[in-house]
Amino acid sequence: MNKFVIVDIETTGHSPKKGDRIIQFAGVVIEKGKIVDTYTTYINPEVPISPFITELTGIDNERVAKAPVFHEVAEDILKLLEGACFVAHNVHFDYTFLQEELELNHFPLLDCPVLDTVEMTRIFEPTMESLKLSDIASVAGFDHDRPHQADSDAYVTAEWFLHLLEKAGTFPKRTINQLRKFSKGLRTNLYEILDEIYKKKIENKESLPDHLDIYRGIVFKKQHVFDKARPSINNNNQILKIEDLVKNHTLSSEEMSLIKYIIKCLNDGELALVEPDIHYNKELSYLIAASFISIIKKEPVIISLASVSNQQMITETIMPKLKEILHVPIQIQLLKGKKQYLNLWKFEKVLKDDSQNYDEIITKMQMLVWLTETNTGDVSEINLSSAGLQFLEKLSEIPLTEAEKDNPWLKHDFYKKALSNAREAQVIITNHHFLMSHLTNPNSQMININYCIIDDAHLFEKNAIKYFGKRLSYSSVKYYLNQLGNPDQLKILGRIERLIRDKGIFVKHSTELIYQYYLELSAKSDEFFLLCYNYLLKLKKNTNQGKMSCQFHIRENNSLLYSWERVYDAYKNLYNSLFDRLSALIDLYKDFNDNEKLLVEDFAYILNQLTMFKDMHDEFIMQMDQQRIIFGEADLKSAQTSMVIKSQFLSIHKQLANFYMSKKAILFISNSLTIKNSFTFISKQLGLESFPFVQKQFQTQLNTETDVHLYALNDIPNVVDISEEEYVEVISNHIIAIAQTLQGRIMISFSSYEMLKDTYNLIKDSETLEEFVLLAQGVTSGSIHRLAKQFNRFEKAILFTTATHIEGLLIEGIVDALIIARLPFTSPNDPVFAKQFKVIKSMGKSPFYELSLPDAVLRLKLSLVKFFKLKSKAGSVIIFDKRIYATNYGHAFLESLPGVSIKTVSLQKLCKQLEKNKGELDLD
């Protein structure tokens, strides 16, 4: 290929068949690795351009009014593309749309090779977080001041395409050859590009770079192993102070106070609760403190966060700052669960599998490139598709423990290297789930760590409870049964039956009987989950966040119990007969070739996953235990396909007590631990009442002139005095007025998914906010995190979300207002809450004041802390729920908010004040 034309088009919509048309075309010509020509034109679509498209592209009806229509420029476009490879970012959209326009206007169709820069980015830049062109331009440092205009998009795509070609040329010869072979299964013409690069490498006899290694045909980056010698500071035999470790720092005296307090707690062996000022960099503070303790104690400190993404945030944003501040290099190891690390033995075998599944091919190609770059082997570094994540399950730990000693990759195993580094590290950063796994696993390979800092402490007990719980979902059952397949299919079970026949292996159960057991389990599972769904639908007690849920007293419900017993009998029949086959195959495992071994390993993995039936059966038997609950959950919009059965402890204080007693010092830290300046609620949740603990709150004082304004509206009816339908109508009108005043970005928090959905639909149907992009959790297509990414792109946007999701959203830039539609009380019909209510009431206490109110206060506080941290200039928090100031318990919310006073105003006064605030910011 010698000529490439990078194309971008802007359109009135996504479907030419529904009347959408092109409004701008741009092409950038590349020859001999350089941009040699550009072509761009607006096109009159002969249909109106919607306000949304104008907001997105900046192209309006006036701009295209005098532009040529498509048939007047079609010849120029065809000439431009003559003899070229058609390249675009998401090429199938541009290519297909252009083809349909050509066909509609009776021009010859395109017949040229195609390349997709989205596909190429996924493969050649596997760790790129976002595939959106504007994000790529930002990362690459390209000038892209007019996103969603074809000429700017095409030029940036051309620059990125040249970068991708250049990077592909740097891959080692072996990797390029593997990519080249796999690319034959792609939907584009990438094979031709890779083939050309490979031939040049053969001609030049290229050798392997020093930073890479090759083993068993796979190229990977050489791994860094931590030194065994721990860092020390020569202080002339004087007592070491934190100032000896920190150099040229810009830390405030207040942050130094936080660091010293954390050090004191750990050094004194305390069990501590700490709520820092939201202006402090708490992550940097506790990392400095942990580094100091690890030096003076000559022991590692483990830091645990709520999620893997939080771990990643610390790695990317906090650790570089830490290195600048500390006098000595500190060895910090990020540690996750074993399944987070690529199993190279399994990967080697999977590479030999000739599957033509597109997503599997892409994932293999991504991993081959990523292995030449990764320092950790942590697969979360790769931006995998949802199907790629499912494929990743095939690369999980090999379940055949008998084969582990024969693992040829043992000395290169990423997880073992991470554990080895953790043993030598000063600071280990992990997540709540892994920490609980380490604590409860008697075979844990982790060293005993005595000093522990738990961040996101407000979520620790909830995450720990989830870890100890069990779940059985319709989607998981169907997924694993589908992976297994019936014996007549060429899936795992069918291939296992063929292997057994080919090897002449004796098994007790016939193929016909296996097939019967398989069909029985599939059918009985369908019946059970449908029965569960109908049970939920009939009760429909709790419909929060778009889901129905309620407690299952399965031993008291004859129809559910009878249905489950039939499911479990079918499971035992199938599992026992399949386990008989697996046992026979394991006896001959060493004599199999690699493909046969891979098949047996996949078979064993599926059988291991199917034990979720036994796990849940054990939970059903234990249901009389008052310390646990079994409940069902399903989406309102789906049938039994969304059905999940969950088992959960109500309290894990005994398990947590064992954790507390196993450590020398534990420090819990979060911006949201206190209610009315008291740690009482969180200490009860964490089971600390039986332990001596210390507590410290670093009080936040916000400057309301530069930080945030807090308003409560006094002209909205009390939410408990009117129907939800009436309340939704009132708040919808208020939201419209506020949005029209601010003309910016607004987040709205709901405690009820039904209220969220109804409010969104009412505002959307009113067509009064057409210039705004409206994004609603569970209503607009895409996950909540995808909606957050869309929200980040627009200057005028409203994001409708639930209170439980706000904290985890990755929101960028200024948010002009956060609206709290209703105080975030958990529904009393929530099955876990309902059972906890009964337990509290049986003790003669008030469930409202003991659980419901403090839980709601912390939820509101979390939302506001999230909003405060987004601010670089003043914004507004607007609370619609009058209960915050009109009830005797409302003060619990107000007194728990960090240094903010609330103003009660009417909508009219609010809009005037928002206009005034906006004007002051504009002047700044």
Give pLDDT tens digits for 741-782: 999 999 999 888 888 989 999 999 998 998 898 988 878 766
Position 230 scores a pLDDT of 62
Region 80-96: what's the mean pLDDT? 94
Q: ∠ CA 183-184-187 to the nearest 5 degrees?
A: 80
pTM above 0.85, yes or no: no
598-635 core/surface letters (b: 16 or more CB in 10 A; e: else): bbbbbbbbbbebbebbeebbebbeebeeeebbbbbbbb
| Weakest-pLDDT range from 76-85, 305-314, 357-366, 542-551 | 542-551
Q: Which of 211, 598, 581 is nearest to 400 (CA)?
A: 598
Report pLDDT digits (tens) over 238-292: 567 787 788 767 788 888 999 999 999 999 999 999 999 888 889 999 999 999 9
Provide the domain count of the chain. Answer: 4
Q: What is the CATH number of the domain that holds 7?
A: 3.30.420.10
The answer to whether residues 488 and 628 belong to one domain is yes
Higher pLDDT: 646 or 150? It is 646
3-state secondary structure of 4: strand
Of the chain, the percentage scoring pLDDT greater than 70 comes to 91
CB-CB contact of 86 with 64 (8 Å): no
Rounded to 5 degrees, what angle do the CA atoms 293, 298, 300 make?
Answer: 65
User: Among candidates 654, 665, 732, which has minimal Cα distance to 269?
Assistant: 665
Same domain, residue pair 798 and 687? no
Q: What is the mean pLDDT of residues 802-808?
A: 73
- The answer to whether residue 921 scores a pLDDT higher than 50 is no
CA distance 804 to 678: 22
Residue 396 belongs to some domain of the structure: no
- The answer to whether residue 337 sits within a structural domain is no
Quick one: average pLDDT of 532-536? 88
In a domain, 644, yes or no: yes
Average pLDDT, the chain: 86
Region 500-527: what's the mean pLDDT? Answer: 93
Mark whether 676 and 721 lie in a shared domain: no
Average pLDDT, integer, range 679-705 = 85
Q: So what's the pLDDT on residue 699?
A: 79
- Domain end: 152, 168, 184, which one? 168
> Do 671 and 794 fall into the same domain?
no
The answer to whether 685 and 463 are in contact (CB under 8 A) is: no
Question: What single DSSP character describes residue 106?
Answer: T
More confident residue, 175 or 325: 175
CA angle 430, 787, 733 (to 5 degrees): 130
> Which pLDDT value is given to residue 249?
72
**Does pLDDT of 923 surpass 50?**
no
| Domain harbouring 712, CATH code | 3.40.50.300
20 shares its domain with 96: yes
> Starting from the edge strand earliest in sequence, which strands make up the sheet with 3-11, in order?
34-42, 22-31, 3-11, 85-88, 114-116
Both 59 and 158 in one domain: the answer is: yes
Give the residue from 107, 139, 168 where a domain finishes.
Answer: 168
* Whether residue 874 has pLDDT greater than 70: no
789 and 870 both lie in a single domain: yes
pLDDT band at 542 (very low <50, low <70, confident <90, very high): low
Q: Is the pLDDT of residue 488 over 50?
A: yes
Give pLDDT, residue 290.
94
> How open is the CA angle 361-363-365, to the nearest 5 degrees?
70
Query: Does residue 278 share a domain with residue 149?
Result: no
Q: What is the mean pLDDT of residues 904-909?
A: 93
One domain, residues 796 and 673? no
Q: Tell me phi and psi for residue 403, to 5 degrees.
A: -90, -10
Tens of pLDDT, residues 381-418:
888 887 788 788 777 655 564 456 678 888 898 988 88
The CA distance from 760 to 748, in Å, is: 10
Q: For residue 226, give the DSSP letter.
A: -
Whether 201 is covered by a domain: the verdict is no
**Structure confidence at residue 870 (pLDDT):** 64
User: Quick one: which of 601, 367, 393 has its CA closest to 480?
Assistant: 393
On whether residue 241 sits in a domain, the answer given is no
Q: Are residues 10 and 101 both part of a single domain?
A: yes
Residues of the domain holding 842: 708-923
Q: Could you say which of 168, 189, 211 is where a domain stops?
A: 168
Question: Does the CA dihedral 56-58-59-61 come out positive or negative?
Answer: positive
Instruction: Tally helices (H) and strands (E) across the chain.
Output: 38, 25
The mean per-residue pLDDT over the stretch 560-581 comes to 95
Query: Which pLDDT score, from 0 to 100, does residue 625 have?
Result: 62
* Most trustworthy range by pLDDT among 447-456, 516-525, 581-590, 912-921: 516-525
440 located within any domain: no
Average pLDDT for residues 27-54, to the nearest whole number?
A: 90
Q: Is residue 768 part of a domain?
A: yes
Quickly tell me which residue has 């990423």 as its tokens: 414
Q: Of 474, 581, 459, 449, whose CA–CA distance to 524 is shortest?
A: 474
Least confident of 286-295, 317-326, 362-371: 317-326
CB within 8 Å of 98: residues ≥ 6 apart: 7, 9, 22, 25, 77, 110
Which residue bears the tokens 């009390």?
A: 718
CA distance 428 to 300: 7
Q: Are residues 643 and 675 in the same domain?
A: no
Are residues 610 and 567 both part of a single domain?
Answer: yes
| Residue 84 φ then ψ, to 5° | -110, 165
- What pLDDT is recorded for position 58? 79
Band of residue 573 on the pLDDT scale cut at 50, 70, 90: very high
Whether residue 160 is contained in a domain is answered as yes
Cα angle: 825, vertex 909, 732; to 5 degrees: 45
Residue type, 134: S
Confidence of residue 920 (pLDDT cuts 50, 70, 90): low
In this prediction, residues 360-382 reach a mean pLDDT of: 92
Q: Taking 90 as the threshold, does the pLDDT of residue 81 lie above it?
A: yes
pLDDT tens for residues 622-634?
765 667 889 988 8
pLDDT in tens, 818-848: 999 999 898 877 888 888 888 899 899 999 9
